[in-house]
Structure 1
Amino acid sequence: MPDPRIAISGCSGGGKSTLLDALARRGFATMAEPGRRIVAAGGPMPWDDPAGFARRAIALALADLDAAARLPGPVFFDRGLIDAVVAFEHATGEAAPVDPANRYDRVFLAPPWPEIHVVDDARRHGMDEALAEYARLEAAWPGFGYAVERLPKIDVEARADFVLARLEG
């Protein structure tokens, strides 16, 4: 069996990237969020071309999954294919051009956490939009056959400990 692929999904501003940074500091392989990479590369931007952004995010998520197959040990993904599929379907009203089922071995969902949510150059939407996105993701993951584990609202090192303990158990 290949090494596990673990998706960290959920609410924008819910601490996903911070958690991935903590896991990376502990020596685990991680894949950065496709959306932030797209924005950093100059687009397409989600606020100008949401469908183009989602198409690009799907392509990056698929490439990340391929790259992860060559990495030893568990690989943690900051968002991923389901997030991109949900964004595509929300932007276009069409079914995504890829089946996202059976790509990840475990899924952790970061719940809404208004106290740590911030708006920046790559995340321009506020808490209301983040909550709507979270509701779509919370429904989508199980709809594609995934069991979802909710992350507790605790400091980042305790969150990393929680994830690793769940993987061991």
Structure 2
Amino acid sequence: MSTSDDFVVITGGPGAGKTTLVDELQRRGFPCIPEAGRRILQDQITVGGQARHEADSLLFAELMLSWDMCSHREATRQAGTVFFDRGIPDVVGYYLLLGQPIPAHVTAAAQKFRYHRRVFLAPPWPEIYTRDRERTQDFDEAVRTHDAMAEAYTRHGYRLISLPRTDPDSRVAFILQRLPPQPEN
């Protein structure tokens, strides 16, 4: 059974290679938790729902929070290190991006559902950034999202480690060289 010290988050703005990296970690046999936002958007688009960034962003935030809390609980059933494509503090970052007050229950969730103190942050990367059916933000918004995520995780006491802009294999090596985490004095 995993504990929050085994939960490693990879975060950042959209289009920075997070999901490709998490997919590569999963291919190598690590348990991985997919990003809530993309899954929710896929479902909402399929059914014509309003819980989308460009429609009802606050409803979208609530669904992401619910998904992420459920994913956190489910991850405790895994053994060893579990990688997360985003975490609950990303919802805090989303409120920051929107310029909205952060609801008390969102702050409480970010404090209660914890991850490893080191969080890997994928920097904005214009050379690989693309839009698609779910990723409708322009690159400037992707940069603002990155900054909001960095702020959210920092507010909640996490130490950010910036990922290099390199191929997925090198990014995996970069992360694995930093795991298992050594106690810090």
Aligned to 2:28: 26
- In the alignment, the residues of structure 2 paired with residue 88 and residue 63 of structure 1 have an alpha-carbon distance, to the nearest angstrom, of 20
Among 5, 8, 21, the alignment partner of 1:6 is 8
Aligned length: 169
Among 96, 99, 115, the alignment partner of 1:104 is 115
- In the alignment, the residues of structure 2 paired with residue 139 and residue 92 of structure 1 have an alpha-carbon distance, to the nearest angstrom, of 13
* 1:51–1:92 contact (8 Å) kept in structure 2: no
Aligned to 1:131: 143
Aligned to 1:71: 78
* 2:94–2:149 contact (8 Å) kept in structure 1: no
Among 85, 90, 93, the alignment partner of 2:100 is 93
1:18-43: per-residue Cα shift (whole Å, max 9, x none)? 00000000000001100001011114
**Deviation, structure 1 residue 126:** 0.8
Among 61, 82, 85, the alignment partner of 2:68 is 61
**Deviation, structure 1 residue 89:** 4.5
**Deviation, structure 1 residue 140:** 1.7
**Deviation, structure 1 residue 94:** 1.9
Identity, in percent, stands at 38
- In the alignment, the residues of structure 1 paired with residue 158 and residue 27 of structure 2 have an alpha-carbon distance, to the nearest angstrom, of 27
* 2:30–2:81 contact (8 Å) kept in structure 1: yes
Structure 1 gaps of 5+ residues are none
1:37-82: per-residue Cα shift (whole Å, max 9, x none)? 1011114111111111011001111111000111111110101211
1:64-116: per-residue Cα shift (whole Å, max 9, x none)? 10001111111101012111122135436222323213611031000010000
Among 129, 132, 148, the alignment partner of 1:120 is 132
CA RMSD of aligned residues (A): 1.6
Structure 2 gaps of 5+ residues are none
Aligned to 1:46: 53
User: What secondary structure does 1:149 align onto?
Assistant: strand
* 1:58–1:85 contact (8 Å) kept in structure 2: no
* 2:16–2:125 contact (8 Å) kept in structure 1: yes
The alignment status of 1:141 with 2:141, answered yes or no, reads: no
User: What secondary structure does 1:168 align onto?
Assistant: coil
* 1:50–1:88 contact (8 Å) kept in structure 2: no
Letter in 2 for 1:38: I
* 2:92–2:152 contact (8 Å) kept in structure 1: no
- In the alignment, the residues of structure 1 paired with residue 68 and residue 23 of structure 2 have an alpha-carbon distance, to the nearest angstrom, of 18
Aligned to 2:163: 151
- In the alignment, the residues of structure 1 paired with residue 137 and residue 22 of structure 2 have an alpha-carbon distance, to the nearest angstrom, of 21
Q: TM-score, normalised on structure 1? A: 0.94
